[in-house]
A = this chain, B = another copy of it.
């Protein structure tokens, strides 16, 4: 497997575009299109929130019942959530406009929205935006980047990843883009993520690989504990790499899973590191837990703790808060047995052992915590299971962004 540049246009046959539709943001691109020259098999995972945005309802229909998908239309600024029947009709109308412009079937068009909850989308602006996108679409790397930029809300950087690998004599490529900064606590997948591949694979196996993998990747990310109404992760595969179609869990399947895991992990970490107001990616790795489920609960509890997140912002090695968060995770353990390390890429400092803090050097710890990527490593000393979770620090800017997000 080789990490390559690019995003949703990296794989053969995929085009993308971004355009300024003036839906809510002014003076920036706020709509994006992903288009495949050939029909794609589609897999998707969606928010577990009871309150589901209209595009989530629409996309579930398409992924479940349409024979294939060929395009995704995305807008930023308004989430089309809590919008009732009118919101759902908006999805249908937008898909119709895109289908007409692209010469494809309406039920092959996925839609996605991100932004403010409760407002209705202006259909005329959406339709005009879709027409622009259809004209602008291109398979260039730049087009992929523009699409990734166009779906940003409070994100500070566009988020892309791509890899390629060989199946026999054929090169298979997977690329993806995502957005997400606030209301990030995915419980099926992240806010919006789109992955394209030229791989030939059965729809069932692609869905299975996706559903399994999100549990260890996107579902282990939290910025603020709020599971969005719009979480959507779509994978499109158009088969244009011409590998023998993967229909069983053979060696080729596991190559695909490995590549998908890389893309998902990379994008998930980018979302965590670019959490609203964040100055650092905060990873918690739990090792030697009794089982995977426990390891995940413990890791996620730590990265979700507001107090821990604020301490990370302050470069304060306040490991008591990490211990506290482990303690209320709902997992049984002996606090006297575990060990805790604070780490960055250069240093690893043992801060807790034998039921008490070690006599570590506070300055050294503060220095380690002043990195862009910080890790808590928790050794449970109980079993052999491990898990990682990714979050970020809690900052003044998080409050600022969210106290006046709508204004």
With a cutoff of 8 Å between Cβ atoms, the chain B residues found around residue A118 in the complex are 318-320, 323, 352, 356-357
Q: Is the CB of B402 within 8 A of A399?
A: no
A97 shortest CB reach to chain B, Å: 23
**A153, CB-defined interface residue at 8 Å:** no
**A311, CB-defined interface residue at 8 Å:** yes
C-alpha spacing A84/B334, complex, angstroms? 12
A304 shortest CB reach to chain B, Å: 7
Q: Is the CB of A117 within 8 A of B323?
A: yes
**A350, CB-defined interface residue at 8 Å:** no
Residues in A177-191 with C-beta less than 8 Å from chain B = 182-183, 185, 187
A402 contact from B51, B224, B307, B352, Cβ within 8 A:
B307
Residues in A293-308 with C-beta less than 8 Å from chain B = 304-307
**A324, CB-defined interface residue at 8 Å:** yes
Residues in A316-347 with C-beta less than 8 Å from chain B = 316, 318-321, 323-329, 331-333, 335-336
Q: Is the CB of B321 within 8 A of A117?
A: yes
C-alpha spacing A118/B314, complex, angstroms? 18
Interface, chain A (partner B; CB < 8 A): 48-52, 79, 81-87, 116-119, 182-183, 185, 187, 224-229, 304-307, 310-311, 313-314, 316, 318-321, 323-329, 331-333, 335-336, 352, 354-357, 394-396, 398-407
A-B contact list, 23 entries, CB within 8 Å: A49-B324, A50-B326, A50-B327, A50-B335, A51-B326, A82-B335, A83-B356, A84-B354, A84-B355, A86-B356, A117-B318, A118-B320, A182-B307, A185-B328, A224-B307, A226-B324, A227-B327, A229-B320, A306-B402, A310-B398, A310-B401, A314-B407, A395-B399
